[in-house]
A and B are shown apart, each in its own frame.
Chain A
Amino acid sequence: MGMIEWIRLLIGLSLLIIGVVIFASEIIGIFKMKYVLNRMHAAAMGDTLGLLSSLLGLMIISGLNFTTLKMVFVIAFMWFTSPVSSHLISRMETSTNESLSYYCEEMTLKEIEEEDVT
């Protein structure tokens, strides 16, 4: 293997390791947190950034071929669908949880903007 091949392999491996670390933090978050929205935040992080990073690493290792194209499709599909499902779960939670005010502060958009200014 030449120099460039080694560099490509190292970049790919480091990206893959970053992805695995993100997945590990996602799993720790899911099992440590107790409230639905907190856990969903942790899970969504792995679904987007962890997936992107690990698949990018695999794409760099694999080179330009049909498998890489499939991975691009996987990333596109997951980034298209996973945030939507997270959004629906959180909306379901906020609209059906009767004791929501026990868990979170409810704020309107205006109040948040005022808080940011001050």
Chain B
Amino acid sequence: MSRKKDDSLYQKTFSYKFFKWMKGEKDPLVGNVEMTPKKDPKEEEEETINERLREKQMMLEKIYDVENNKLILNFRKIYKFISILFCITMFAILFLNVSYLPPVGDAGNPSDNEVPVRYIEKGIEETGAVNFVSGMILDYRAFDTFGESNVLFIATITVLILLKVDSKLKKNDPEKYEKETNDRTLEPKKDPILQFCARYLMPVIVLFGICTILNGHISPGGGFSGGAIIGAGLILYLNAFGFNDTERFFIEKTYKVVCFVALTFYCLAKSYSFFTGANHLESHIPKGIPGAILSSGLILPLDICVGLVVACTMYTFYCMFRKGDY
């Protein structure tokens, strides 16, 4: 049997403070740990909030005339009812469908057909790649990957059309060009700490990306992931040293040439491989020993192509969204 404490005694206990904090009445951090803002200039007074709400309500009533227009009133009620009904119906349909799904790991599942068995049993022999995923996406389904690379290319072209500053402007009106491409007015320029960090990090990142691409057929990784890593390294370099340094090795022409060569090589090489395969001709591309760096036929060059396209795409997106020019 516990006795009830006095209010003055109770207010000193820990539980009183704790429950007050739970309700949100008192914040122990304000005034002690945190620097309290003197007064937020953007904070609204209570009166203005009320006035704003009242004006909004008045406007709505004026426009829709809720009291007299029964049609709108009924429509609102029916709208609410139907939206709730729609949500419940969708829930019901989805849950019903989930209950019909086959159990996990059952031998009779539709996904357990002869295709993955073939990949696992004959994958190394047919493609020469130890990494099954690489063998799948760059050998069995290489045209699918080709389409993905082209999607990236088309996305970059769209961004270039929309965001690139007109290149004639540079000759005709240099002042306007400067104004359009001025990307950092308040941002810190050439931060020495970031420069020190990038000087040591960027080579490591790019080397790791190259390693991921070149080992795409023997270990996890491949063109897409390696290209993304290289692109991130390039963006870090650009952030640290500015456009003057990156202009030396990456301009618009670089992007055009690299992407064109990579995509064309991909298309021609894979067309040759598919043509010979479909017509039962002898393919002159050696498979090599599975597990060696130079093995698995076309997978390694195709990985390099995909990696180059992805890296250029990432870098171009960043440049376009930030400045509008390389």
B72, CB-defined interface residue at 8 Å: no
Q: Could you give, for residues 86-97 of chain A, a 1 whenever the CB lies within 8 Å of some chain B CB and a 0 otherwise?
A: 011001100110
Give every chain A residue within 8 A of B121 (Cβ-Cβ).
none
B187 and A34 contacting across the interface, CB-CB below 8 Å = no
Give every chain B residue within 8 A of A96 (Cβ-Cβ).
186-187
Give every chain A residue within 8 A of B37 (Cβ-Cβ).
34-35, 102-103
> B-contacting residues of A (Cβ < 8 Å)?
32-35, 38, 80-81, 84, 87-88, 91-92, 95-96, 99, 102-104
A80 and B34 contacting across the interface, CB-CB below 8 Å = no
B35 and A103 contacting across the interface, CB-CB below 8 Å = yes
In whole angstroms, what is the CA distance A20 to B41 when docked? 37
Give every chain B residue within 8 A of A87 (Cβ-Cβ).
191, 193-194
**CB-contact partner of B35 in A32, A95, A104, under 8 A:** A104
Q: In which size bucket is the chain B interface?
A: 10 to 19
Q: Could you give, for residues 184-221 of chain B, a 1 whenever the CB lies within 8 Å of some chain A CB and a 0 otherwise?
A: 00111001011001001100000000000000000000
Give every chain A residue within 8 A of B200 (Cβ-Cβ).
80
Given contacts A34-B37, A87-B193, 6 further A-B contacts (CB under 8 A): A32-B29, A80-B197, A84-B193, A88-B188, A96-B187, A102-B37
* A84 with B187, Cβ < 8 A, contacts A35-B35, A102-B39 known: no
For the complex of A and B, 8 pairs with smallest distance between CB atoms: A84-B197, A96-B186, A91-B188, A38-B34, A103-B37, A99-B41, A95-B186, A33-B34
A33 and B29 contacting across the interface, CB-CB below 8 Å = yes
B144, CB-defined interface residue at 8 Å: no
Q: List 7 A-B contacts (CB under 8 A).
A: A34-B34, A35-B37, A81-B201, A87-B191, A92-B187, A102-B41, A103-B37
B38, CB-defined interface residue at 8 Å: yes
Q: Could you give, for residues 272-290 of chain B, a 1 whenever the CB lies within 8 Å of some chain A CB and a 0 otherwise?
A: 0000000000000000000
B201 and A80 contacting across the interface, CB-CB below 8 Å = yes
A102 and B40 contacting across the interface, CB-CB below 8 Å = yes
A contacts with B: majority SS: helix
Give every chain B residue within 8 A of A38 (Cβ-Cβ).
33-35
In whole angstroms, what is the CA distance A32 to B200 when docked? 36
B245, CB-defined interface residue at 8 Å: no
In whole angstroms, what is the CA distance A88 to B186 when docked? 13
B187 and A95 contacting across the interface, CB-CB below 8 Å = yes
In whole angstroms, what is the CA distance A102 to B38 when docked? 6
Give every chain A residue within 8 A of B39 (Cβ-Cβ).
102
B126, CB-defined interface residue at 8 Å: no
Give every chain A residue within 8 A of B193 (Cβ-Cβ).
84, 87
B27, CB-defined interface residue at 8 Å: yes
In whole angstroms, what is the CA distance A88 to B201 when docked? 16
In whole angstroms, what is the CA distance A35 to B35 when docked? 8
Least Cβ–Cβ distance between A55 and chain B, in angstroms = 20
**CB-contact partner of A84 in B38, B41, B194, under 8 A:** B194
Least Cβ–Cβ distance between A72 and chain B, in angstroms = 15
In whole angstroms, what is the CA distance A103 to B34 when docked? 10
In whole angstroms, what is the CA distance A49 to B188 when docked? 28
A35 and B186 contacting across the interface, CB-CB below 8 Å = no
Least Cβ–Cβ distance between A45 and chain B, in angstroms = 13
**CB-contact partner of B191 in A32, A33, A88, A99, under 8 A:** A88
In whole angstroms, what is the CA distance A103 to B39 when docked? 8
